[in-house]
Amino acid sequence: MKRLMTIQDISCIGKCSLTVALPIISSMGIETAIVPTAVLSTHTQFPNFTFRDLTDDLEPIKNHWKSQGFEFGTIYTGYLGSQRQIKIVSDFFDTFGSKDNYIVVDPAMAEDGVLYPGFDSHFAKEMKKLCAKANIILPNISEACLMLGEPYPGEDASIEFLQELLKKLVALGCDTAVITGVSFSDGTLGFLGYHKKNKEFFHYGTEKIPYRSHGTGDVFSSTFSGALTKGLSIEEALKVAADFTCACIKNTYKDPEHVTYAVNFEAEIPYLLKLLSITPSE
Ligand code: PXL
C-alpha cells in the first residue's frame, strides 16, 4: 500500500484540513499518515474558536518516524498555524523528501485577496519559502498574489496575468505551479498550471456552480495528492480533483439541508472511486 504524509490542523467541526484529507485519501486505498499541527474547535471562519497548538509535538513525531525508517510516496501540506510551524514543516521536507517522492504544498492562507484570521505578511513570506521547496504548489489567486507581492486582481483575473504569476511562482523553486479557482472565458471554473521543465501551460475547467463554500480548496488538494500518490500523472490527478470538487459543490448546492461552512464531500466518495476506476470489494 502506498503511503502519504499530510501535515495540517484538525478542525473538529468545519470539514477542512485533516478531517477532509484523511477520509478522501484513505478512500483511495492509500495509507494516510497524519501530522496534526493544532486542534481547533472549528475552522477559523467561526467566531470564538478554540486553538490547541501542537507545534511542540511536531519534531518528536518527525524524529520518531525517522528512527523507524518510514518512507512516504507523497508529502502534502495544507493550512499551517504559524511561521514556526512552517519552519518545522520545512525540516520534514529535508528529512523525508527525496528525488523519488512528491512534495505538494497548498499554501492555504487566504481568500478573496484577504489573509485568514491570525496571518500577516511575514507568514505569507515564510509560506513562499516553503513553496520554493515543493515539487507542486496549489495556490488560489489570492495566495499566489500575496506570495509574489502582486496586487489582487479579483477572481476574474485575466489568463495572461495568471500566466505571468505562474512563471514567477516556478521561479521561486518548485517544478509545477497550479493556480486554482480560475474562471475561463467559456464560463467554466478550474485550474491553470505551468511546468517549469518544458515551459508548458495547461488548464482544465468544470461547470461553474453558483455556490461558494469553505473547504473546497482542501477537497481539491487532498484529492490531487491522493490521485498523484496512486500513480496518476500530475495533469490526470488535477482533473480528477477538479471533477470531484465540482461534484461535491453541486451536491451541496442541491441539498436543501446543506451546512454553509463546508461541502458534502462524503456523499460523492463513490463518484471519486468511479473516477479512479476503483471498485469497492464485496
Ligand atoms: O484550508 C482551510 C482551513 C483549514 N484549517 C483552518 C482554517 C481554514 C480556513 O479558514 O481556518 C483552521
Cα 18–Cα 21–Cα 25 angle in degrees, nearest 5: 145
Q: Tell me if 217 CB under 6 Å of ligand 1.
A: yes
- Centroid of ligand 1 to alpha carbon of 17 (angstroms): 7
Spell out the residues 6+ positions from residue 201 whose beta carbon is closer than 8 angstroms to its own: 163, 166, 192, 193, 194
The 8-class DSSP code of residue 106 comes to -
- Centroid of ligand 1 to alpha carbon of 107 (angstroms): 11
Task: Identify which of 116, 223, 224 to mutate to test ligand 1's pocket (most ligand atoms within 8 A of the CB).
Answer: 116
Q: Tell me if 226 CB under 6 Å of ligand 1.
A: no
Helix 121-132 / helix 83-96 crossing angle, nearest 10 deg: 10
Q: Tell me if 6 CB under 6 Å of ligand 1.
A: no
Per-residue pLDDT of the chain (282 residues; tens, 9 = 90+): 799 999 999 999 999 999 999 999 999 999 999 999 999 999 999 999 999 999 999 999 999 999 999 999 999 999 999 999 999 999 999 999 999 999 999 999 999 999 999 999 999 999 999 999 999 999 999 999 999 999 999 999 999 999 999 999 999 999 999 999 999 999 999 999 999 999 999 999 999 999 999 999 999 999 999 999 999 999 999 999 999 999 999 999 999 999 999 999 999 999 999 999 987 665
Task: Identify which of 15, 17, 22 to mutate to test ligand 1's pocket (most ligand atoms within 8 A of the CB).
Answer: 17
- Centroid of ligand 1 to alpha carbon of 11 (angstroms): 8
Q: Tell me if 127 CB under 6 Å of ligand 1.
A: no
Q: Tell me if 92 CB under 6 Å of ligand 1.
A: no
**pLDDT tens column, 141-170:** 999 999 999 999 999 999 999 999 999 999
- Centroid of ligand 1 to alpha carbon of 195 (angstroms): 28
Ligand 1, atom 8: nearest CA belongs to which residue? 43
CA atoms of 141 and 152, how far apart (whole Å): 8
Nearest CA among 58, 99, 101, 107 for reference residue 80? 107
Pairing of strands 3-13, 74-77: parallel
* pTM of the model as a whole: 0.97
Give the per-residue pLDDT at 280. 67
- CA torsion 273-13-9-44 (nearest 10°) is 120
Ligand 1, atom 12: nearest CA belongs to which residue? 43
